[in-house]
Amino acid sequence: EELRRLWPYGPVTVGYGSAAAPTVREAVAAARAAIEPGAGGRVVVASYLLAPGFFQNRVLRAGGDVVTAPLAPDERLVDVVLDRYDCAVARATTACLPDRRCPVLAGCAARTTGH
């Protein structure tokens, strides 16, 4: 909803790459149908996937004119993963069983990394 409110260049349509509806292909078709004839608009798909692979390939085949790359190269995502790992390990070490299973992994507040 926020992207719809802030995006000044045309309609924003949401599509899902897995089990939810509408699919990315359906969203691309809806976005293309919303372009005024002769306006020369393009359909741009912003992928919010973390890495290339099955779902990114599905997005690439959905018919968009431009598709963004997965988010994985963004260093801020690495910081988030490392923060969550450190926090989970810190909390789990007090709850681990003798066989090294740690059944309780509580959430943690995010740290500021300066990015």
- Does the pLDDT at position 4 exceed 70? yes
Cβ contact 28:43 at 8 Å:
yes
* pLDDT for the residue numbered 1: 79
CA distance 42 to 45: 10
* pLDDT for the residue numbered 81: 82
pLDDT 10s digits, 82-102: 888 888 777 666 666 666 665
Residue ranges covered by each domain of the chain: 2-67, 74-115
**pTM, two decimal places:** 0.63
pLDDT 10s digits, 56-90: 999 999 999 999 999 876 778 778 888 888 887 77
DSSP code of 35? Answer: S
In 6-113 the beta strands, taken as DSSP E runs, fall at: 44-45, 66-67
Mean pLDDT in residue range 21-35: 94
CA distances (Å), origin 91, targets 1, 33, 64, 70, 79? 35, 51, 44, 31, 18
- Does the pLDDT at position 110 exceed 60? no
DSSP code of 47? Answer: -
Residue with token string 């003798």? 98
